Amino acid sequence: MSSFDFKRYQALSAVLAFFTGSFFMSSCSLQNNSSSQNTSSQSSSSLSTEQTSIQTSASDLETPSVEYTSEDTEAADATNAVQIKFQGSSAQVDGKGVSVKNGIVTINSAGTYALSGTLSEGQLVVDVSESGTVKLILNGASISCSNSSAIYVKNADKVILTLADGTQNTLSDGTNYVFDDAENSEPDAALFSKSDLTVNGSGTLTVNANYNDGITSKDGLRIAGGNITINSAGDGIKGRDFVSVKDGNISVSAQGDGIKSTNDKDAQKGFVLIEGGKLNIICAKDGIQAETTASVTGGEISVTSGGGSSNGISQTTQQNTEETESKKGIKATTGIIVSGGKIDINSADDAVHSNGSIKISSGTLTVSSGDDGIHADNQIVVDNGEISISKSYEGLESSVMTINNGNIYVVSSDDGINIAGGNDGSSVNGRPGQNEFANSSNNQLYINGGYIWMDAAGDGLDSNGSITMTNGTVIVNGPENDGNGAVDYNGTFKVDGGWLLAVGSSGMAQAPSDSSSQYSLMINFDSKLSAGTLVHLQTSSGEEIFTFAPSKTYQSVVFCSPEIKEGSYSVYTGGTNTGTNENGLYTGGNYSGGTEYKSFEVSSKVTTVGQAPRMGGGPGGMGGNPGGGRRKFQPGETEATTNQG
């Protein structure tokens, strides 16, 4: 029976909700001295800095703050409001501050206005030069316009849109616009505001954006409540200075990005903050995109971008085709912060991507990606949380990564955790944003705690620099081919604490460095063993160290633990164990019926049992590369060209 207390872990299940909707077509006639635009203006999803790493460390990232006043969060009272009742192409008004002409209903004074009825051919315009808040209560209102926004906030201090409880409200535009501001091609959304905009209440709003975006604010956009459904030919929800979601049920179906903030001129703006609510985003491009920081502190978020991970572009295709459209789940230029909430992402491109850094301190992330699961050009820090990556090209990737705690589950078609690049050749003429990475002493992986389980077809733990481990549990089901290793590093791998078990092929196998304070083993078998064949390690007195059932064919086992000390050990294969199998590892039972492979003595920090690796790897990373670490393939090389016997 093992003396080590293993942490229990179960993979998270992904729940993806899909939304479909139909576009509402309408028409209206506006009398403006404006120019005409007859082609749909689709917003660009690609960041101008897509190829640029932002050197912001994770410790510098701060969750932005958005102030909500009581009028932002509390539904406006319609008791003393000016009543506007739409009637076909006109409206009946009971009160002051409103003019009606040729289907255009214009509010020109601050105050509270209750809107009801159907405006089938017209537009609501807010044009208020005086200070004060304009409160619009949608109380069973439907507004349609064929050549401009259904609601156009042209001028106001601030506008609050309340969705009255129990009401159904609809805003629709057409496929062609006549711009009020021709120079800036504005407005260009079914609900467009040049001022700060807040949406609250508990009613329902459906936005059919047939021209371009659904809801746009040229300042800040707050969502504090409501049941909001957006069908958009462009982006779903867009705020220039920020988008903040505090509450509400939001469904977005967009041909562009789902939610985005666009201010790239002010480092304190251009962010997206999700504090609560339920969001279901299905989009052709990025799910959530921020020009500075994307932060999630709560709520439930479901994103399907670019058709999902099944539409991920193969690496061969990416090397021969210039990929211009970004189809990521959550993307930010400066950084991404996850400190709570539940996030489900199914993305054709990276699921979580930052051109700078990523910090995860809590919350649940369930990911299926057509490319990387979690990618940061600069740094990733995981302090806690639950991360489940069920499909990816590479699981987690950055130039510096620190894992302090949390549960991490990774399935990857290439590397599980990768420090500073793609697979050995993919970053050369490979995926966008990868070519900057190179072997460097600055590339570091730090494992200080947590539980990490991975199934990697490429390298398991892969660092183009060094690895340091002080605590935690790492279990790697690594590659079956001899061109990769369950552990792969170019500098050193120093283990001063924690529990590491890495199984895979033997051709490029590496053990931790002999500078480690803990003892480690590299056991290489004479031939490959089939998936599920138990490998069992015990002391000469019969005390079990571990029994493990690898999920794939394997020929090498690397093990490092405080339990390994100088003395005699035996390794067995096959047999059975009566204990509980959790992620391949048995606990609480008895092992029997196996075949002894070898008995051996541990007298040095790194002990190799069986044949040495065939392709340049070695114990302590001393093969191939000067200074330690194995030699990586170059583009066009194969196992045969690098194998020296």
In whole angstroms, give the CA distance from residue 198 to residue 217: 9
Does the structure show a pLDDT above 60 at 548? yes
pLDDT of the residue at 436: 43
- Is the same domain home to 213 and 253? no
Q: How confident is the model over 574-599, as a mean pLDDT?
A: 97
Q: Are residues 400 and 458 in the same domain?
A: no
Do residues 498 and 596 both lie within one domain?
yes
Q: Is residue 48 part of a domain?
A: no
Is 135 among the domain residues?
Answer: yes
> Do 559 and 602 belong to one domain?
yes
pLDDT score recorded for residue 186:
87
Domain membership of residue 44 (yes or no) is no
**Are residue 195 and residue 333 in the same domain, yes or no?**
no
In whole angstroms, give the CA distance from residue 120 to residue 556. Answer: 71
* Domain contains 204: yes
- pLDDT for the residue 617: 56
**Structural domains counted in the chain:** 3
Residue 192: inside a domain, yes or no?
A: yes
Locate 522 and state its tokens. Answer: 């590299």
pLDDT at 136 over 80: yes
The pLDDT mean for the chain works out to: 86
Residues 163 and 214 in one domain: yes
* Residue 59 within any structural domain of the chain: no
More confident position, 186 or 383: 383
User: Per-residue pLDDT tens for 387-422?
Assistant: 999 999 999 999 999 999 999 999 999 999 999 843
pLDDT band at 318 (very low <50, low <70, confident <90, very high): low
Single out the residue of 301, 426, 260 nearest to residue 16, CA to CA.
301
pLDDT over 90 (residue 313): no
Which of 172, 199, 232 is a domain's end point? 232
In a domain, 641, yes or no: no
Q: What does residue 108 show for φ and ψ, rounded to 5 degrees?
A: -120, 15
The model's confidence at residue 58, banded by pLDDT at 50, 70 and 90, is: confident
Q: How confident is the model at residue 2 (pLDDT cuts 50, 70, 90)?
A: very low
Question: Based on the domain organization, do 147 and 190 belong to the same domain?
Answer: yes
Instruction: Give yes or no: residues 389 and 491 share one domain.
Output: no
Number of C-alpha atoms within 13 angstroms, CB side, residue 358? 28
Q: State residue 227's pLDDT score.
A: 98
For residue 512, whether the previous peptide bond is cis, meaning omega lies within 30 degrees of 0, is no
Q: Assess whether 218 and 265 both reside in one domain.
A: no
Q: Which domain holds residue 139?
A: 24-30+81-232
**Residue 42 within any structural domain of the chain:** no
Statement: residue 285 has pLDDT above 50: yes
Strand 249-254 and strand 278-283: the pairing is parallel
More confident residue, 503 or 27: 503
Confidence band (pLDDT; 50, 70, 90) for 612?
confident
pLDDT of residue 439: 59
Among 106-110, 303-307, 439-443, 501-505, which stretch is predicted with the lowest mean pLDDT?
Answer: 439-443
Least confident of 20-34, 87-101, 144-158, 535-549: 20-34
- The pLDDT score that the predictor gives to residue 53 is 57
Please check whether residues 392 and 509 belong to one and the same domain.
no
Same domain, residue pair 601 and 466: yes
Provide the percentage of residues in the chain whose pLDDT is more than 70. Answer: 82
Give the pLDDT confidence score for residue 324 in this predicted structure: 66
- Residues 592 and 465 grouped into a single domain: yes
- CA 364/CA 387 separation, integer angstroms: 6
Structure-token pair, residue 24: 């509402």
Q: Which of 10-24, 69-83, 151-165, 480-494 has the lowest mean pLDDT?
A: 10-24
- Tell me which residue of 545, 554, 550 sits closest to 519, measured CA to CA: 545
- Lowest mean pLDDT across 31-35, 214-218, 244-248, 313-317: 31-35
Element (H, E) at 72: helix 70-73
In angstroms, rounded to a whole number, what is the distance separating the alpha carbons of residues 192 and 127?
Answer: 12
Identify the pLDDT of residue 341: 98
**Using 50, 70 and 90 to split pLDDT, how confident is the model at 426?**
very low
Q: Which residues are CB-neighbours of 151 under 8 A, at least 6 positions away?
A: 123, 124, 126, 136, 143, 161, 171, 190, 191, 192, 193
Rounded to two decimals, the pTM is: 0.86
Q: What is the DSSP string of 288-344?
A: EEESSEEEE-SSEEEEEETT-GGGPPPHHHHHHS-------SEEESSEEEEEEEEEE
Over residues 44-49, mean pLDDT = 33
% residues pLDDT > 90 (the chain): 78
